[in-house]
Amino acid sequence: MEHELHYIGIDTAKEKLDVDVLRPDGRHRTKKFANTTKGHDELVSWLKGHKIDHAHICIEATGTYMEPVAECLYDAGYIVSVINPALGKAFAQSEGLRNKTDTVDARMLAEFCRQKRPAAWEAPHPLERALRALVVRHQALTDMHTQELNRTETAREVQRPSIDAHLLWLEAELKRLEKQIKDLTDDDPDMKHRRKLLESIPGIGEKTSAVLLAYIGLKDRFAHARQFAAFAGLTPRRYESGSSV
């Protein structure tokens, strides 16, 4: 029912969540939670405990900080909208909200949600979430491997055994992750089919196809092939910014 709908704004940071609940009677209720798996579960329990079963929740797109809590709330059955931070900033300016704190930002998002009714966000498929986690982990270890290789250039002899051992472990772990990624995509017929299609495109190999699948997923998110190619970085585009020529 419309009169039962609560509008909720959540300001996400690395370690905490500032939550503002705009009730149907116009009053606000605020609370903070840890931005952890436990904190996300506590947030859902708190909402359910206050009989907030119907809510439209608005969160700014802040990458890895917001994804887990957005997915948790989506899985709990709430309407979740993920908006561009520029929209929130413009709305705050239009409302004359000058004091920027996490609490104020959460309240602004709740008001934005009530007034603008942003489009609902759809969480990635569980398979996409797993693939994305593996891709992120693979990239982190790849970066670490590069750092260790760079250290070999200036390392003292006493340091080399440790660096060499770490490099061997990293290389083995990267191969294990690559197999895990391939097995994950092979086990799902649709994802396997999409991976094969991607890898049939010149310039896209196994690693790139895994990244694209992790962030594009199983849904048709592009209106036409050229739009997808631009996303994947396969089409030339004009770049003009500042003093660039």
From 116, 148, 179, give the residue that closes a domain: 116
Q: Is the pTM of this model over 0.85?
A: no
Q: Is residue 244 part of a domain?
A: no
Radius of gyration of the chain (CA): 22
Q: How confident is the model at residue 27, as a pLDDT?
A: 94
Q: Give me the sign of the Cα torsion angle 12, 13, 17, 21.
A: negative
131 and 176 both lie in a single domain:
yes
**Residue 10 tokens, joined:** 């959540």
Residues 140 and 69 in one domain: no
Domain range for residue 156?
126-232
Residue 87 lies in a domain: yes
With respect to residue 121, please indicate whether it lies within any of the assigned structural domains.
no
User: Are residues 217 and 140 located together in one domain of the fold?
Assistant: yes
Specify the number of domains making up the chain. Answer: 2
237 in any annotated domain: no
- Asked if 87 and 177 sit in the same domain, the reply is no
242, part of any domain: no
d(CA 85, CA 54) in angstroms, rounded, equals 24
- Residues ≥6 apart with Cβ < 8 Å to 75: 123
142 and 210 in a single domain? The answer is yes
- Identify the CATH number of the domain in which residue 98 sits: 3.30.420.40
152 shares a domain with 67: no
**Is 195 found in the same domain as 136?**
yes
- Residue 1 is assigned to a structural domain of this protein: no
Same-domain pairing of 78 and 156: no
User: Can you say how many angstroms the Cα of residue 35 is from the centroid of all Cα atoms in its chain?
Assistant: 14
Distance CA 7, CA 19 (A): 11
Contact 113, 81 (CB under 8 A): yes
As a whole number of angstroms, the distance between CA 69 and CA 35 comes to 8
Question: Is the same domain home to 164 and 81?
Answer: no
137 and 222 part of one domain = yes
- Is the same domain home to 44 and 137? no
Kindly state whether residue 238 falls inside one of the protein's structural domains: no
Q: Which of 63, 95, 116 is the last residue of a domain?
A: 116
**Quick one: 162 and 74 in the same domain?**
no
Segments of the chain scoring below 70 in pLDDT? 1-3, 97-100, 102, 217-245
Residue 96 belongs to a domain: yes
Q: Domain end: 59, 88, 116, which one?
A: 116
